[in-house]
Amino acid sequence: QVQLVESGGGSVQAGGSLRLSCAVSLTGYSVYYSSYCMAWFRQAPGKEREGVAGICMGGSSTYYADSVKGRFTISRDNAKNTLYLQMNSLKPEDTAMYYCAADRGVQTVLSPYEYNYWGQGTQVTVSS
């Protein structure tokens, strides 16, 4: 069983920064946090959920959507079982509910269909 809890969302003006965190809890058969791929997704009202950034192989491989490259940085602290998303130079179009997700055996890291474990989401609002 995998439980994910996001935090760190909020309201910020364009050009500002936020850091999202996702605390990972593994119980029972689910062990070896570092064996999971993890990713951040976002969903704005009326839009499909889209992959923002992902990280696999214990943190050695990272993936980003073109829209956030150079502005967002994904990282994970395996000792603390926590995933982070540092978001800089935020734009109004970054406004969305942000979710973290985790699973093993992921092939397409930024596809939401690859993940069975999801957090409840944290809202990010960027004003112009």
Q: Name the 3-class secondary structure at 35.
A: helix
Structure tokens at 45: 């009202």
Structure tokens at 65: 């959507």
Q: Name the 3-class secondary structure at 105.
A: coil
25-71, pLDDT tens digit by residue? 877 655 566 778 999 999 999 999 999 999 987 678 999 999 999 99
91-104, pLDDT tens digit by residue? 999 999 999 999 98
Calculate the average pLDDT of the chain: 92
**Could you tell me if 83 and 58 are in contact, meaning their C-beta atoms sit under 8 angstroms apart?**
no
Res 13: pLDDT: 98
Of 13-22, 55-64, 112-121, give the lowest mean pLDDT range.
55-64
